[in-house]
Amino acid sequence: MTNLHRHAPLRVALVGLGTVGGGVIRLLNTNGDLIARRAGCPIQIVAISARDRNKDRGVDLSPYEWVDDMTTLATRDDVDVVVELIGGADGPALTLARQCLTLGKPFVTANKAMLAHHGLDLARLAETGGTALKYEAAVAGGIPVIKGMREGAAANEISRVYGILNGTCNYILTTMEKEGRGFDEVLKEAQDLGYAEADPSFDIDGVDAAHKLTILASLAFGTELDFDAVATTGIRHVIAADIAEAAALGFRIRLVGMAQNGADGLFQRVHPMLVPLDHPLAHVDGSLNAVVAEGNFVGRLFFQGRGAGDGPTASAVVADLIDVARDEYGDAFAMPVAALTPQNTADAGARIGRSYLRFKVQDRPGVLAEIAAATRDAGVSIESMIQRGANQADGVLVAIVTHAGEERCVRETLERLAGSDSLLDTPIVMHILD
């Protein structure tokens, strides 16, 4: 089919040779002919770079030129595009990105942390440099959700975009759910299986999901990226009993990143939510990712797929390379940087919704009355309250589902109870997806 190629090969420098880097090499080797037909030209890795040259990566690196100093790649005329897979918000990845974009070299990255913190600056450099900044792999792995938001849903005013953006958390939560086991035990197993990092905090504290949400929110609402505006809570405090109570009430617990646009501004939050069983997110199991976008003409769009791993992530990286080869790319965040509006952060307290509150309390008379009084005084209306004492070695669990109301009232409930010696633990609040 080579006679059909309308362009010379696209020459790629690949920086970072971890799992995903190896996946990109394998993908281009395996699907090279098909990719050349689709891209209009072969896509060839010509140079590679990583921290440690001598590490065994399980792929044959001998066809590629090894480059010690990756910063030289930005200026090389025999490199058409640089792929960055080293990660980290700052440091070498950021330096390389700035160099490439400033010099007009197309830049493809999977680096959500860097984009969440510096995406606006990088998009500005790409614009000035007249080149591509592509990052499909940064959010939801193999699911083409960047393209779905930037292009597919582009005709819509989006009211909210949300989803399951971290496969590690979803694996842990759904395993807890299916097997009735505790968080620590399942996390340990996930680490042993390689599904969770030795230091899992980026995942389980919601930081990774918040990075991704920051990017999605900008695309959905035409706003400047603002990672600091994301209210982030992870899943460390979810216990097996929460999952059981939620199930009894017709919900499943998922770590949801949600950005919502309203009259009072933009609201971004990552936190465990109770998802009703009739919502598609309730059926996203294991390490899958999923994204929902709600537009004023398209209605609800739902994308699901594998959000991590070498294959899916490499699929997204190479999709970006095909776009570059086809010359089908434009503004990184769907519009010129100057057209992105600054975010006005909405007040969380004014948000209306139902909430789940769970208390671990002393098993003694009057505690339930104390909690009930606090909710009453804070103006929280209770839809259901369950107290379970049996089988609880350490106290009694009280789980409350509220009627829809302002979140400030829920917060006030907790403030009223703060310091009470009836409480054995910090109460947990999870909101309910409507």
State yes or no: 23 annotated in a binding site: no
Closest by CA position to 172, among listed 163, 162, 184:
184
Largest CA distance in the chain: 84
Amino acid type, 36: A
What CA–CA distance (Å, rounded) separates 86 from 222? 28
**Identified catalytic residue from 105, 147, 212, 360:** 212
Site residues for its own copies, 252-291, by CB under 8 A, read 280, 283
Residues 27-46 that bind its own copies (CB under 8 A): 27, 30-31, 34-35, 37-40
> Is 314 a residue that touches its own copies (CB under 8 A)?
yes
- What is the spatial distance between Cα 283 and Cα 331, in angstroms, rounded to a whole number? 34
CA nearest 155: which of 269, 293, 42? 293
Which amino acid does the sequence have at 388?
Answer: R
Handedness of CA 96, 102, 104, 108 (dihedral sign): positive
**Residue of the chain from 227, 303, 356, 359 that contacts its own copies (CB under 8 A):** 303
Give, as ranges, the residues between 140 and 179 that touch its own copies (CB under 8 A): 142-144, 147-148, 151-157
Residue with tokens 């030795």: 198
Find the shortest distance in angstroms from Cβ 119 to its own copies: 17
Among 298, 352, 369, 404, binds its own copies (CB under 8 A): 298
* Window 210 to 229, contacts with its own copies (CB under 8 A): 222
Cβ-count burial 121-153 (b if 16+ within 10 Å, e if not) = ebbbbbbebebbbbbbbbbbbbbbbbbbbbebb
Among 184, 228, 264, 327, binds its own copies (CB under 8 A): 327
18 is in an annotated binding site: yes
On whether 134 is known to bind a ligand per the annotation, the reply is no
Catalytic site residue 188? no
How far apart are CB 406 and its own copies at their closest, in Å? 29
- Three-state secondary-structure class, residue 279: coil
Which spans of this chain sit near its own copies (rule: CB under 8 A)?
1, 4, 6, 23, 27, 30-31, 34-35, 37-40, 136, 142-144, 147-148, 151-157, 222, 280, 283, 295-306, 311-312, 314-319, 321-323, 326-331, 334-336, 338-339
Binding-site sequence positions: 15-22, 112, 197
> Which residues are identified as catalytic?
212
